[in-house]
């Protein structure tokens, strides 16, 4: 309701409508169905609704900021290719059944593209976006100020840099930690990227089954696959797509992008991306699958409370996934100094993202400062600029990783010793993705009872 009534994203964000189009069609094609007839019927309904939705979008939209405009054009380009590929097979399989509505949908997408082309974007700095202070207070229900959140990220940055310098001295004093990181490329050329991530997901499943997490939560259906073409321009290289319903037959997805869309990258950048995917695979898998997003969503979808079952809080969601990565080191899953270095490098990246999210909005940082933070964290200038562009599409989201983990660690320090790790995690997750001051009240009440 905050997004629709206060932020009014439907007035300025064409991505909102495009995601409804393409995610809706993808869901209709892939979610469980009684038979092929049901699948075809619901897919046809989604496709036939596209013209009306996009006509409504053109009536609703009143000024589009530059970042959204650029991303929408890219998503339209990729989405039309996805739609043509997805529906082409259906048109051949059921001649005359899909063709008419498919052509109408394609025409509507082309008209929407022309509409965006004919309406110049509003420069980002002139666009009245909701204040980050309001998002912190009203959306994330945090009691902290922007200054306090920024300082949390700065302190985290300094601590992680200190740990990286210690590891660099221990591993090889002749090289910088950045050089050590970039030279570390395990399994490159020896194993397919998707096979590597499937194997790692299973290893993590077994490990955390023996470290306090319930088997039924760990065994929820998951498919590891390439990022759908329509999402490549708006998703990171590794991302999670949760099942929409509590139907146990419905899969969740771990999406991996092994190369950027051709209009966005060079072969050199694709090579850097592939190396990063192989270098960070243990932590990326933990973040997106077990014990990160997939485990969290598997538990959320089976909560008895129907309201809490629907609550998805970015602050808890990303904070938990970031915290989940640190469990690999804490619980002994990784023990190699080079893997510790990868872990702290990723932590450095999270703290940079939080600083950039808050700092650009509150004028604590310039754009040049933001680029420097990310290049220091191990990214090329081109990738740093691409990340900052993506961050600006969703102000307030990047701070969720560091702030969310900070809140979980604060609760952990207060309650884990008396509860034990297993009960602490179980109690934290079974309450759902609540605001952290409510979660703390649950812990306080439990503490009084015991």
3-state secondary structure labels for all residues of 34-56: CCHHHHHHHHHHHHHCHHHHHHH
Quote the pLDDT of residue 130. Answer: 59
Please name the residue that has the structure tokens 């001649």. Answer: 95
Rounded to an integer, the average pLDDT of 6-10 is: 75
- Is 187 part of any domain? yes
- Is 272 part of any domain? yes
Task: Let me know whether 96 and 225 are in one domain.
Answer: no
Question: Which residues is 266 bridged to in the sheet?
Answer: none
- Among residues 86, 103, 125, which one ends one of the domains? 125
Task: Let me know whether 59 and 147 are in one domain.
Answer: no
pLDDT at 294 over 90: yes
Task: Let me know whether 100 and 167 are in one domain.
Answer: no
Rounded to an integer, the average pLDDT of 192-210 is: 96
Task: Let me know whether 44 and 175 are in one domain.
Answer: no
Task: Let me know whether 112 and 145 are in one domain.
Answer: no
Quote the pLDDT of residue 324. Answer: 98
The number of distinct structural domains making up the chain is 2
Maximum average pLDDT range among 217-221, 350-354, 362-366, 433-437: 350-354
Rounded to an integer, the average pLDDT of 76-92 is: 85
Task: Let me know whether 183 and 323 are in one domain.
Answer: yes
Strand spans (E) along 122-208: none
**Measured distance between the N- and C-terminal CA atoms of the chain, rounded to whole angstroms:** 38
Task: Let me know whether 172 and 108 are in one domain.
Answer: no
- Is 277 part of any domain? yes
- Is 446 part of any domain? no
- Among residues 92, 125, 158, which one ends one of the domains? 125
- Is 440 part of any domain? no
Task: Let me know whether 299 and 420 are in one domain.
Answer: yes
- Is 441 part of any domain? no
Domain residues for 103? 1-125
pLDDT at 57 over 80: yes
- Among residues 80, 98, 125, which one ends one of the domains? 125
| Contact in structure between 327 and 286 (CB atoms under 8 Å) | yes
pLDDT at 285 over 70: yes
- Is 209 part of any domain? yes
Helix axes of 14-30 and 36-48: crossing angle, nearest 10 degrees? 160
Task: Give the burial string for 384-420 (b: 16+ CB within 10 Å, else e).
Answer: bbbbbebbbbbbbbbbbbbbbbbbbeebbeebbeebe
Task: List, as own/partner pairs, every contact residues 55-58 make where C-beta atoms lie below 8 angstroms and the sequence separation is at least 24, other chains included.
Answer: 55/108, 56/17, 57/14, 57/17, 57/112, 58/111, 58/112, 58/115
Cβ neighbours of residue 371 closer than 8 Å, sequence gap 6 or more: 381, 384, 385, 388
Task: Let me know whether 169 and 293 are in one domain.
Answer: yes
- The pLDDT mean for the chain works out to 90
DSSP character at residue 225: E
What stretches of 172-261 show up as alpha helix (H) in DSSP? 177-183, 193-209, 215-218
Quote the pLDDT of residue 61. Answer: 95
Task: Let me know whether 252 and 360 are in one domain.
Answer: yes
pLDDT in tens, 401-426: 999 999 999 999 999 999 999 999 99
| Contact in structure between 66 and 121 (CB atoms under 8 Å) | yes
Task: Let me know whether 218 and 345 are in one domain.
Answer: yes
pLDDT at 212 over 90: no
Rounded to an integer, the average pLDDT of 122-141 is: 76
pLDDT at 90 over 90: no
- Is 444 part of any domain? no
Per-residue pLDDT band for 3 (boundaries 50, 70, 90) equals low
Per-residue pLDDT band for 265 (boundaries 50, 70, 90) equals low
* CA 255 – CA 282 distance, rounded (Å): 15
Rounded to an integer, the average pLDDT of 259-269 is: 64
* CA 436 – CA 141 distance, rounded (Å): 8
DSSP character at residue 122: B
3 state DSSP class of 111 = helix
Quote the pLDDT of residue 184. Answer: 93
Task: Let me know whether 74 and 159 are in one domain.
Answer: no
């Amino acid at each position: 309701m905050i997004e629709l009534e206060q932020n009014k994203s439907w007035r300025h964000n064409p991505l909102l409508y495009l995601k409804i189009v393409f995610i809706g069609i993808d869901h209709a094609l892939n979610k469980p169905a009684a038979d092929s007839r049901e699948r075809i019927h619901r897919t046809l309904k989604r496709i036939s609704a596209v013209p009306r939705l996009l006509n409504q979008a053109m009536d609703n939209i009143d000024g589009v900021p530059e970042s959204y405009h650029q991303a929408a054009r890219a998503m339209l380009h990729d989405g039309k290719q996805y739609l043509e590929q997805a529906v082409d097979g259906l048109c051949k399989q059921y001649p005359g059944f899909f063709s008419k509505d498919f052509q109408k949908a394609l025409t509507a997408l082309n008209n929407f593209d022309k509409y965006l082309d004919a309406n110049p974007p509003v420069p980002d700095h002139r666009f009245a976006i909701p204040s980050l202070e309001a998002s912190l207070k009203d959306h994330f229900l945090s009691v902290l100020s922007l200054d306090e959140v920024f300082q949390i990220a700065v302190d985290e940055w300094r601590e992680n840099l200190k740990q990286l310098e210690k590891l660099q001295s221990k591993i090889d004093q002749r090289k910088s930690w950045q050089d050590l990181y970039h030279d570390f490329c395990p399994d490159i050329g020896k194993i397919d990227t998707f096979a590597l991530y499937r194997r790692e997901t299973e290893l993590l499943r077994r490990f955390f089954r023996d470290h306090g997490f319930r088997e039924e939560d760990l065994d929820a259906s998951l498919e590891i696959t390439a990022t759908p073409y329509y999402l490549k321009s708006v998703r990171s290289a590794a991302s999670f797509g949760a099942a929409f319903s509590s139907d146990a037959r419905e899969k969740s997805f771990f999406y991996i992008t092994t190369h950027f869309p051709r209009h966005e990258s060079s072969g050199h950048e694709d090579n850097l991306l592939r190396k990063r995917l192989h270098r960070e695979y243990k932590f990326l898998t933990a973040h997106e699958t077990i014990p990160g997003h997939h485990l969290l969503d598997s538990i959320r979808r089976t909560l008895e409370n129907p309201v809490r079952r629907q609550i998805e809080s970015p602050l808890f969601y990303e904070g938990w996934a970031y915290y989940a990565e640190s469990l690999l080191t804490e619980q002994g899953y990784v023990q190699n100094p080079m893997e510790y270095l990868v872990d702290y490098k990723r932590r450095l990246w999270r703290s940079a993202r939080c600083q950039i999210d808050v700092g650009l909005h509150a004028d604590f940082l310039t754009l040049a400062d933001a680029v420097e933070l990310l290049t220091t964290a191990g990214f090329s200038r081109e990738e740093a600029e691409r990340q900052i562009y993506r961050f600006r599409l969703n102000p307030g989201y990047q701070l969720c990783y560091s702030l969310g983990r900070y809140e979980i660690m604060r609760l952990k320090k207060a309650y884990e010793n008396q509860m034990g790790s297993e009960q602490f995690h179980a109690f934290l997750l079974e309450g759902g993705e609540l605001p952290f001051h409510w979660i703390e009240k649950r812990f306080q009440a439990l503490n009084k009872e015991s």
